Amino acid sequence: MIRVTLQRYPRSVPSPLDAKLSGVLGGRTASALAKGFGVETVRDLLTHYPRRYARRGELTELVHLPLDENVTIVADVIEVRERPMRARKGSILEVTITDGKGVLTLTFFNQAWRAKELRPGARGIFAGKVGDYRGSRQLAHPDYELFDDENAGDGDAAEAWALTPIPIYPATASVASWQVQKAIGVVLDTLPELPDPVPDDVRASRKLLPFRRAIELIHRPTVDAEWGAARKSLRFQEAFVLQLALLEQRQRLREQAATPRTPVAGGFLEGFDERLPFTLTADQQVVGSAIAEDMVTTRPMNRLLQGEVGSGKTVVALRAMLAVADSGGQSALLAPTEVLAGQHLRSIVAALGPELAARLRPTLITGGMPTADRRRALLAAVTGQAHIVIGTHALMSESVGFFDLGLVVVDEQHRFGVDQREALRRKGATPPHVLVLTATPIPRTVAMTVFGDLEISTIAELPSGRQPIETFVVPLSDRPGWMNRVWERLAEELAQGRQAFVVCPAIDPGRPESDDVPPDVSDDAASQRPMASVTDVLAMLRADPRFASRTVEALHGRLSSEEKDSRMRAFAAGELDVLVATTVIEVGVDVPNASAMIVLDADRFGVSQLHQLRGRVGRGPVPGLCLLVTAAEEGSISRDRVEAVASTLDGFELAQKDLELRQEGDVLGSIQSGGRSSLRLLRVVKDGDLILEARAIAERVLADDPTLARHPALREALDARLDETERDFLAKS
């Protein structure tokens, strides 16, 4: 087996940042933090930056507190009342707090003793989930910490006390903001000087704080200006280390020569082209030749192919794989989910036809495979018999080896990070060519900065003969009665012999399918309502006489991969009429007879996710219908997102709107969902200029000191970044 590990420069001394938290904090605190936020090392904790800063002297506005959201607020206690519970034994302590204008009630059951500390006039910080009790807002059993008013006396001390910023950390129901703050304080108290990854001259010329000082001030500022300067310094450091990592990766790649892959006369590619049932669109041809030109050189191809859902990217990728097979090499196709990997296998086998398929042996490798199958598949990959290997994250695991990996195709870039691409790349004897496919158009600023190492191609036209998809928003907040009309419409589609998807944000009532809520949505107040679930909707449709003669099945991430696969297959074969699903059907699913896509609680999904879901219908000769059902109020951001999707079919336009709608959206985070290694302070869209400057400086540093031997702290920061990424792989595979 050929296995190449990434070349490492000699490691620098271990950093105090790499120390395990369990050795620094109490075991209980450490494990609560690990459970709550996935932080395990000192570095993880210290980069758990405050979300914002409050002040003791400044009360939080209470009028606009969003319902059902976890909030952390500063307020004064004005009234405390104890009363017996009506139906049961025991008492309720009701504490009214205020910002001077609005009020909020805190309720505690059977905790009358709290009246001793929560006295009228006390000021503190309160955290909990905003609930509604008979029309007024309340926090039930909030966590709180009262300010110690000894310091609040008179004069300068009092003023300093009132102005001191209080860091508000991302918190969970079990770890409050101030608990995070205390843990960080403990770590900071003994934290030694830290070597700074940013070179001295750069720091001086940009007026940045030294690393150790910046870390101190972002967590323990005494005035607002301090955290401002700290964020600025750490943000630059992030941009700089990221650009250095990208540049270094590119530099290493260029040092290695790829194997040229040339199609042969009378070979696989020619055979495939001869039996292709359609002609390639002009865009497909242009991109196809760009790829062919890239792959006949010794410089590894590194190309991003973006194109609308259904624009025919897969065919282009398959042709590249055939060119590689012609030269005796193998290709790996990396798909984001097992369902999609399975579907890719089937559609590739079908596209190749029996004769080519038998010779190329497309082979599936996924985590959920039975051991015997997996062993057989691994053997086919490592001996080179399988010219096309298709799989999920499992492809990146140690046990997967190739005989001669020539091309890595990554489907749907936004699910895989730069670093994951790198992991697969390492499996080639010589660096394989890499082709990344995405239907999520990547805004130019992002492409330029984040994927600086990729060439970009675009397929803009759809193959002819496609039916347009009609999209409608069903606004339940204004028209609750329209829900029934949605089901009627579904019945009508089915009556025409067509099939449909009904997508829900949750599998079970009350819980989102954990890993499927996009980061830009999960914070959104309006999207915290109860959600449609697969379980409920499945039961409802099965009980509805309008669907009595229809076969309705569920598809979601908790099913075994065999179950998912067999249901998907049954749907593709027309044996099922309706699939009630979560977003596992999001990308790549191709069932030409499916005409309707009904998304319930559409505001729970991101713009690109909705666009992807819509792309599942209208793929064949029948026109597509997409109904986006939402209870979000008109004018809310959630509703705007849904309206945006309905307003256009153009993915590039949508990507732009999406950016405008995400206020603090971390574009990089959702593209590169590589766990904790994604960026903290940097915002790819907003900080475009900063990223370009950081890139220029990184280029200079690297040109001057290619192995970074003279920049040990920077070397260490890069290694740490890599370690984090490797940890993420292990967790996933």
Report, in Å, the least distance between residue 590 CB and ligand ADP: 6
> What tokens appear for 327 in the block?
């030269």
Q: How far is the CB of 312 from Mg ion (least distance, A)?
A: 8
Interaction mask 130-169, Mg ion, x per CB under 5 A: ----------------------------------------
Decide which of ligand ADP, Mg ion, none touches 631; Cβ closer than 5 to 8 Å per partner kind: none
User: Which of the listed partners (ligand ADP, Mg ion, none) does 280 bind, with a CB threshold of 5 to 8 Å by partner kind?
Assistant: ligand ADP
* Residue 194 backbone dihedrals phi, psi, to 5 degrees: -115, 130
Binding partner of residue 447 among Mg ion, ligand ADP, none, CB under 5 to 8 Å per kind? Answer: none
Q: State the binding partner of 463 from Mg ion, ligand ADP, none, CB within 5 to 8 A by kind.
A: ligand ADP
Closest CA to 601 of 639, 645, 557: 639
Q: Which does 57 bind (CB under 5 to 8 A by kind): ligand ADP, Mg ion, none?
A: none
For ligand ADP, the closer CB: 309 or 580? 309
Distances (CA, A) of 45 to 21, 33, 125, 311: 8, 8, 22, 44
Binding string, residues 561-590; x marks residues near Mg ion by CB under 5 A: ---------------------------x--
| 124 versus 391: smaller Cβ distance to ligand ADP | 391
Q: Provide the residue type at 79 as one letter.
A: E
Q: Which of residues 461-500 bind Mg ion (CB under 5 A)?
A: none
Residue pair 679/668 in contact by the 8 Å Cβ criterion: yes
Query: In angstroms, what is the minimal distance from the CB of 311 to ligand ADP?
Result: 4
Q: Which is nearer to Mg ion, 198 or 340 (CB)?
A: 340
Which are the contacts of 86, defined by CB distance < 8 A and separation ≥ 6? none
| Residue number, nearest CB to ligand ADP | 312
Q: Are 614 and 507 in contact (CB under 8 A)?
A: no
Q: Which does 672 bind (CB under 5 to 8 A by kind): ligand ADP, Mg ion, none?
A: none
Closest CB 612 distance from ligand ADP, rounded Å: 10
Residue among 248 and 283 whose Cβ is closer to Mg ion:
283
Residue 628 tokens read as: 């986006």
Residue 180, helix vs strand vs coil: helix
For residue 348, the number of C-alpha atoms closer than 13 Å in the C-beta half-sphere is 32
Supply the minimum distance, in Å, between the C-beta of residue 415 and ligand ADP: 14
User: In this structure, are residues 674 and 420 in contact, taking their beta carbons and an 8 Å threshold?
Assistant: yes
- Partner whose binding site includes residue 267, from ligand ADP, Mg ion, none (CB under 5 to 8 Å by kind): none
- Kindly list the residues in this chain that would bind ligand ADP in the complex (CB under 6 A): 278, 280-281, 284, 307, 309-315, 439, 463, 590
Q: Smallest distance from the beta carbon of 407 to Mg ion, in angstroms?
A: 16
CA distance 221 to 111: 35
| Closer of 446 and 587 to ligand ADP (Cβ) | 587
3-state secondary structure 214-235: HHHHHHCCCCHHHHHHHHHHHH
d(CA 452, CA 248): 12
Instruction: Give least dist CB 310 to ligand ADP, A.
Output: 5
Q: Which of residues 270-329 bind Mg ion (CB under 5 A)?
A: 314
Give every CB contact of residue 714 below 8 A, 6+ residues apart in sequence.
197, 198, 199, 241, 244, 701, 708
Closest CA to 616 of 585, 646, 645: 585
Q: Nearer to ligand ADP by C-beta: 287 or 531?
A: 287
Locate 573 and state its tokens: 């074969």
Measured from the CB of residue 465, what is the shortest distance to ligand ADP in angstroms?
7
Nearer to ligand ADP, 313 or 604 (CB): 313
Closer by beta carbon to ligand ADP, 277 or else 545 = 277
Which of the listed partners (Mg ion, ligand ADP, none) does 260 bind, with a CB threshold of 5 to 8 Å by partner kind?
none
Residue 59: name its binding partner from ligand ADP, Mg ion, none (Cβ under 5 to 8 Å by kind). Answer: none
CB atoms within 10 A of CB 461: 14
The tokens describing 339, both together, are: 């369902």
Nearer to Mg ion, 518 or 588 (CB): 588
Residues in the chain: 733
CA angle 252, 256, 259 (to 5 degrees): 140
Residue 195 interface partner, choices ligand ADP, Mg ion, none, CB cut-off 5-8 Å depending on type? none
Strand 405-411 versus strand 91-98 pairing type: unpaired
CB of 309: closest distance to ligand ADP in angstroms? 5
* β-sheet with 499-503: strand ranges across: 469-475, 624-630, 594-599, 499-503, 578-581, 552-555
DSSP state of 145: E
Provide, rounded to whole angstroms, the least separation between the CB of residue 456 and ligand ADP: 15
**Residues lying near Mg ion in the complex (CB under 5 A):** 314, 588
